[in-house]
Amino acid sequence: MNTDNSPNIEFSKELKVETTSIPGMLLIDIPVHGDERGWFKENWQREKKMALGFPDFGPVQNNISFNAEKGVTRGIHAEPWDKYISVGSGRIFGAWVDLREGDSFGAVFTAELDPTKAIFVPRGVGNSFQALEDNTVYTYLVNDHWSAEAQAQYTFLNLADTASAIKWPIPLDKALLSDKDKKHPQLADVIPMKPKRVLVTGSNGQLGRALRDVFPDAEFTTRDELDIADDNLEDARPWRQYEAIINAAAYTAVDNAETPQGREDAWKINSKAVANMARVCTKYGITLIHFSTDYVFNGENHIHDEEEPFSPISVYGQSKAAGDIAASVAPRHYILRTGWVVGDGNNFVSTMKNLAERELEPQVVNDQVGRLTFTNDLASASRHLLTTGAPYGTYNFTNDGEPASWAEIAATVFELSGRSRDDVTGVSTATYFASKDGVAHRPLQSTLSLDKIKATGLAPREWRQALTEYLNNQ
C-alpha cells in the first residue's frame, strides 16, 4: 500500500535479485513495509541475499551522501572495492559505466532507485547518480577502507562524455555538478582498472616457474620477499586488492624432515604458513589455491580419492596433512593434491635422462606405483579451477594413464633417450634403502583418482605423452 507520507514507494515488494547488462552488477528489489507512521525495510540482510545468489562481499564501512536539491549529480567514479548502494529517502537516477579492463569496458546500465531498490556495483564499475528529489539520502556499503594506495587506483570518467549513452532526466547543463566531476577524462582517455591481483608464493620452485607461464600478470614472491610464516602476514599486503593466493611454497626434503631442524622447518612452511594464508583469505574473501601430496596417505590403498582419511607415515606427510586441514578452513579454497612432480629443474626424469646419456645402468625402486605430474599441466589445472567456477574443495591432479612404478618410468626415459629398457634394474624399496640411514617411509601406492577433476571439464594429459614432449624439449 502507499501512504501520503511516501507517495512514490511501492510497499511490500518481494526480495528479488536480477542481473544487469554489466557483468557482476546486480539490481535488487527490497521489501518495504509501511503504514501511516512511515516505513521499515531490511536494507542489508546477508543470508537472504546470499540465498538468491548475491555475493558474500564482506562490507566493512557504510557511507551516506545527503543531496539537498533536486538535480545534484555526482560521478562518474570507479573505486577498487565493491559497493552496495541504496536510498534512504527520495529518489535517484543511477548511471553506471564499466571501467574495468576487458571486453565489457564502456558498457552502460541505468536505473531509478528509491528505498525499494538497491544495486550491487562490482569493483571497477564507475558509479554516478542524479537526485530526483530534494533531500535525497544516498547510502552505500563498501568492502574496503580508504587508503592512499587504494585512492591511487581510482578511475574517473567525464559525465558529459556519457550524454549519448545516458539519458539524464535533468540535462547536465542544468544540473548541479562539482568542478572536479566536470574535469574528468573522456572515455577514450580512461585507463581501465586492472583486475584484482593474484599472488604466487614459492615462485622459484619447479611449480612456481610453471605458474609464471600460466599467470603472466600475477605477482610472484619468494620467502625472502614475503615471509608467509610470519605471524604478521595480515599486515604485509593490502589484501583487499587480491583475488587469489596460489601457494606453491613447500618444504619437500622428505628425508631431511626426519631430523630435528628439518621437522621444525617442514611444520613451519607446510603447516603454519598455510594457516596464516588461510586466515588472511578468510578475512578478506580471497581464494586460496594450495598444493597437497600423496604423502598424506600411507599408500596401502591402490587408488586414493579425495575423501580418504589422512594416514601419513612420515614427518613430511604429517606436515602436509596439517597444511591441508589449515587450507580447508578458508571458505574459498582449492586444494590440489598431486605427486611425482616433474618440471623445469632437477627432478627424477632429468636425473634418469642424465644417467642414460652417461651410459649408466641404475637400480630404481619397482614397488612404488603412481603417475607423473608435469608442472605445466598442474599450473593449468590451477587456472582451470580458478576461472571456471568449479566448486571449492580438494581435487586430485596428476597426469592420466596407466599407473607405473619408478622403475618403469625410468625404463621409459631410457627408451626415449635411445637406450634399452633393460638397462634399468628394478629393486624393492626395502632393498634400495637398506644401507641408508635417516630415510623417511614412502607410500608404496600413490595413484590418485582423477574422477573429481575430470567432472569439472578438465582432461589431464596421459603421462607418457607428456613425458615424451618434456624430453623432446630438453
Beta bridge partners of residue 35, listed in sequence order: 38
Closest CA to 395 of 323, 456, 316: 456
Q: Hey, is 356 helix, strand or coil?
A: helix
Alpha helices in 215-293, H assignment, sequence order: 260-267, 273-284
Based on the residue annotation, tell me whether 432 is a catalytic residue of this protein. Answer: no
Which triple of cell numbers denotes residue 405? 612404478
Report the distance separating Cα 328 and Cα 452, nearest Å: 17
Closest CA to 203 of 237, 233, 244, 248: 248
Based on the residue annotation, tell me whether 140 is a catalytic residue of this protein. Answer: yes
Closest CA to 429 of 445, 415, 416, 417: 445
Inter-residue contact 221 to 237 (CB < 8 Å): no
The active-site residue out of 140, 334, 432, 470 is 140
Report the distance separating Cα 395 and Cα 381, nearest Å: 10
Report the distance separating Cα 120 and Cα 54, nearest Å: 9
Q: Is the dihedral of CA 433, 434, 436, 437 positive or negative?
A: positive
Q: Which uninterrupted H or E stretch holds 142?
A: strand 136-142
Name residues whose C-beta falls within 8 Å of residue 427's C-beta, 6 or more positions apart in sequence: 363, 364, 365, 366, 407
Report the distance separating Cα 449 and Cα 396, nearest Å: 7
* Omega of the bond leading into 170 within 30 degrees of 0 (cis): no
Which triple of cell numbers denotes residue 219? 605477482
Name residues whose C-beta falls within 8 Å of residue 327's C-beta, 6 or more positions apart in sequence: 247, 274, 277, 278, 288, 290, 333, 335
Inter-residue contact 418 to 472 (CB < 8 Å): no
Q: Hey, is 424 helix, strand or coil?
A: coil
Question: If you search the block for the grid coordinates 621409459, which residue do you land on?
Answer: 412
Q: What residues are annotated to the active site?
A: 77, 140
